[in-house]
Amino acid sequence: MKALWALVAVALAVAAAPVAARAEGSGKIKIGVLSDMSGAYADVVGEGSVAAAKLAVEDAGGSVLGMPVEVISADMQNKPDVASSIARQWFDTEDVDVLTGGGASSSALAMQEVAKEKKHIYLITDAASSDLTGKACSPFGIQFVYDTYSLANGTARALIKQGGDTWFFLTVDYAFGQAMEADASRFVTAAGGKVLGSVRHPLGAADLSSFLLQAQASKAKVIGLANASSDTANSVKQAAEFGIPQSGQKLAALLMMITNVESLGLPVAQGLTLTESFYWDLNDKTRAFTKRFQAAYKPERVPTMTQAGSYAAVFHYLKAVKAAGSKDPEKVVAKMKELPVDDMYNDNVKIRADGRVLHKMYLEQVKSPEESKYPHDDYKILASTPGQEAYRPLADGNCPFVKSQ
């Protein structure tokens, strides 16, 4: 009988060994960039975000605590089921330590749930939904770059001050667009303005004419574009074809990045007001990073705020691993929130208890062709807002784990 129990013990130990090995992880740090590599947002995230993450690894020395750092990537196609499936596979069988990216907010919300379940850190750099640090928050989720609240805060308030007190929203029909419209509507009504209506369009719709005609017919002073990337670019381009801006209605690009501005060209995009947390031409540090990014990615492209955010997120994560003396997720996320975020565009920035990185936000206006003096000289900085004022107050977010502390 003793011999039988000995054999059983050996068998159990052998069976448990792979599980224990996975729990301890491999002798490396593995970062998974899961983003939109081929769809509507590929230009503003995608391979550029992978290149930026690799630059952060390079600046961290290529290894931390004697462990080499590896970056892998995959296309989640802006589909929540695909995103969650890849994230689960990476955590369960490929020893991925930390997830970054996200693409569309619907996909990021699905990834957040998997990371929370598996107790792995998720660095949110692509997605904008403020729910990611609100009702869908996670103790392991850190949201860099922006969110719908901060974008609406900057742009909507600025346009209301200029007299844009009636709004109509052209909204992409998924989690991000709905959150953006809701946040912007709150700012409009709180400032005494009125929302006259909204219309929703599918992600990646090529023909937006029927939606734009409804917005034009509303007679609203401002048409709020609660969409992003190629959808925003198409909205602006087709609105110009219908003569909407020329007739006096303002377009408010609630999420627009420099690649979208440059795809439109300054003659079409000039005068647009937008909010971002990063501009390549802010200072010597951002310009130096841009040169390295162009060499690593595409010489003709400057980094978007999401791509720069990929660098910032990975660099801060690796700094926290070193400071924690471990890659244990609970220890690392605690250290990330303890240490200031300090890199080529963050200067002593704090991470709040709900995972919100309190970046400064910049209100920008697209220059006219005459104002632009050199390549990519696209923006005038109109104002800046400290992170403590730009983002939703912690008490208003209804983050469950913060409320329970």
Q: Are 184 and 152 in contact (CB under 8 A)?
A: yes
pLDDT tens string, the chain, 405 residues long: the values are: 444 444 434 344 434 444 333 434 569 999 999 999 999 899 999 999 999 999 999 999 999 999 999 999 999 999 999 999 999 999 999 999 999 999 989 999 999 999 999 999 999 999 999 999 999 999 999 999 999 999 999 888 888 888 999 999 999 998 889 999 999 999 999 989 999 999 999 998 999 999 999 999 999 999 999 998 889 999 999 999 999 988 999 999 999 999 999 999 999 999 888 999 999 999 999 999 999 999 999 999 999 999 999 999 999 999 999 999 999 999 999 999 999 999 998 999 999 999 999 999 999 999 999 999 999 999 999 989 999 999 999 999 999 999 766
Residue 379 structure tokens? 């923006």
**What does DSSP say about strands 166-172 and 141-143: parallel, antiparallel, or unpaired?**
unpaired
Rounded-to-integer distance, Cα 294 and Cα 302, Å: 7
Query: What integer pLDDT is reported at residue 40 of this predicted model?
Result: 86
- Please give the angle made by the CA atoms of 34, 55 and 364, to the nearest 5 degrees: 80
Q: What is the pLDDT of residue 140?
A: 98
Residue 26 pairs in a beta bridge with none
pLDDT score for 324 = 98
Query: What are phi and psi for residue 47, nearest 5 degrees?
Result: -65, -25
- The two most distant CA atoms of the chain are separated, in Å, by 91
SS3 135: coil
- Contact (Cβ atoms closer than 8 angstroms) between residue 52 and residue 316: no
Nearest to 290 by CA among 319, 300, 275: 300
pLDDT at 15: 42
pLDDT score for 392 = 95
pLDDT score of 26: 60
Alpha-carbon Rg for the chain, nearest whole angstrom, is 22
d(CA 267, CA 271): 9
**What DSSP string runs through 86-132?**
HHHHHHHHS---EEEE-SSHHHHHHHHHHHHHHT-EEEE-S---GGG
Provide the residue type at 94 as one letter: E
What is the residue extent of each domain of the chain? 28-146+282-359, 149-277+361-387
Name the residue type at position 173. Answer: D
Contact 318, 60 (CB under 8 A): yes
Structure tokens given for 394: 């912690």
Position 405 scores a pLDDT of 63
Indicate the average pLDDT of the chain.
91
* pLDDT score of 18: 41
Both tokens of 245, joined, read 């801006």
- Architecture (CATH level 2) of domain 28-146+282-359: 3-Layer(aba) Sandwich (3.40)
Catalogue the E-assigned strands of 18-80: 29-35, 63-64, 67-75
Asked if 290 and 51 count as a contact pair (C-beta separation under 8 A), the reply is no
How is residue 106 written in tokens?
């619907």
28-146+282-359 and 149-277+361-387 agree in CATH topology = yes
**CA 261-167-378 angle, 5° bins:** 15
Question: What class does CATH assign to 149-277+361-387?
Answer: alpha beta
Question: Residue 226 in contact with residue 171, Cβ under 8 Å?
Answer: yes
Q: Helix (H) and strand (E) counts for the chain?
A: 15, 13
